[in-house]
Structure 1
């Protein structure tokens, strides 16, 4: 009887142990089981994140090899358990949303001018976020999501190193937001497209969360060169934790909460995105240890009907708007900044608290920003508001201004 009991006990004990799954985009095989060893043909790392995340159960951890992945990590209706989250540990891996242009898909329509009629599924929101990478450098054509978006150039106006898009309304689908048209890239005459080192952002996000998700932990991972958000969180989520994550040069937000999402972030670096953080609707978020730099549209954007917190942060602001906070009628969107340093690295700009916004500044330094409470509410304690240091005469127009001038619009006004 004892002999028959022991195998069952062993199987039960094994089931209680968490499983570690390993992903390697170079040596992995999605027909393997994802375990670390390669004792036979079925063992060893899998090739794709999707394969490992699908297999993971409460308490399991998906480990990424420190590599560049041409793949998004998608969590849809995934649920861990209290004390046993499903964990993705990137170990410093990068999720890269861009792919090199395939010359076979881009015929040369005139000397140095190349066209693609079906690059990817498009709508106006994607187009306003769009960029190409030339030798690894983003080219927005002066346009950015949630910032300035001048009209795209006409094809005949393009100079080498530029791109544009021309809509084809004849291909439109009734009652659909999808748009059709052609992308054009311009190279110096005689240069081959294969030699131009151009890439396009073909994936929408690095980390994508949708549906209903509970007890998920994502750590030590970077997202870059996607056309939308580095970390795009939709649906309803609870007990979701991000630790030590980075978002670099994404077409829209570094990280963005939507809908009914609640999560915490400990350690965020957001550099070169259109928006550093953009949380909306009924989301509730808390950030600790934040560094934001070189964003284009808005550094900190919060709009909706709930509360948000940023503690221990540094924002070096190049964006068109350093901070924008507003509520959605009839609710209030509140933001607590605690021990946060914000400094304009460009000309002074407006940090605006609009109707339904409530901004609480605790131990904050705000330099080079005109803080405007436009029907919003601002409270401050142990907070300094003043001019940012002038750099190489860049802000000559601000020379001689006094700190009180930055405060004069703080009281609500129409």
Structure 2
């Protein structure tokens, strides 16, 4: 009997010890995994430069010279000042305001518009039926202008850090090249289906280029070694097609893309983007231009207004009647950006990179004279209590279309 009890006690002790060892192993394993994750996160944010203290860099921009001023300010800074956690504090010349995020969003939105404006000769539409832009040809770029691509790369990095989205109209292939993702014929076809379809007909009808004594060059530039002296024939037509497409979509922009990558990875760690595809990278930078109206209503906060009140009911009826462009203008006016982050309006960012709900706050007024105003830093629309839906619509449209873009109170 005693032996049986002793055996049971031994088994119980062994079981307890095994359980405690399991708990200890789990805790140690958890701590190890936690440390590994922390080290990984640290690697995404810690500067490769010696000084890793978080700093604020103040930048003053003239609205009348957004591209030029921004270029001079950003490119005059050492990369360590722009890297990861270091903050940029933007002010517009002769304007009062403290940048808690809203002014940065407005600045980037205006700057991206300038960068992609064809008049500045940095990007162009390859053909009339293409809506995304490619860098202009290398031979058309001055030595100073090539630096603008590095500058643009730095701006993209800062967009990721600041969680700011804007309409970056890059060609789909460029998004992949920035991440060193190989491109193939499927990418070339998607880039311009009509051109690709017609160009591939050369396989069945090589005489089209053979009769013209076509060589391996385009606009006087060889796309293979000694290309100007090599004529296309039936034996090398497939090679010609492959090399021409690589030149048209990749090699032609190699120097510009290299500079963009240089600027991008001066501001963020390469590991941050290593698992991204071209599409997901674009979503990270651009966000979404699709506005889910019901989701917008569901993720709006009210201050001194009731969701079921007359003014709020009118407001949403008015916004629902807006065109897509007018809805974007409203978002721009209130948040500083007309594009939404991945996940929609619930993920918009406010002060100091924290999620901040789209908010409608009651603006004290007497009569119908005042216009709506906004605080882009807190994603807040200050809306007076108007006497009719028609007046609300008129005042709101005037505010979002005619007033200064975005920044109201910060």
Q: Larger relative CO (CA 8 A, sep 6+): 1 or 2?
A: 2
Same fold (TM over 0.5): no
Computing the radius of gyration over CA atoms, which structure comes out larger, 1 or 2? 2
Larger strand percent: 1
**TM-score, with structure 1 as normaliser:** 0.25
**TM-score, with structure 2 as normaliser:** 0.25
Larger helix percent: 2
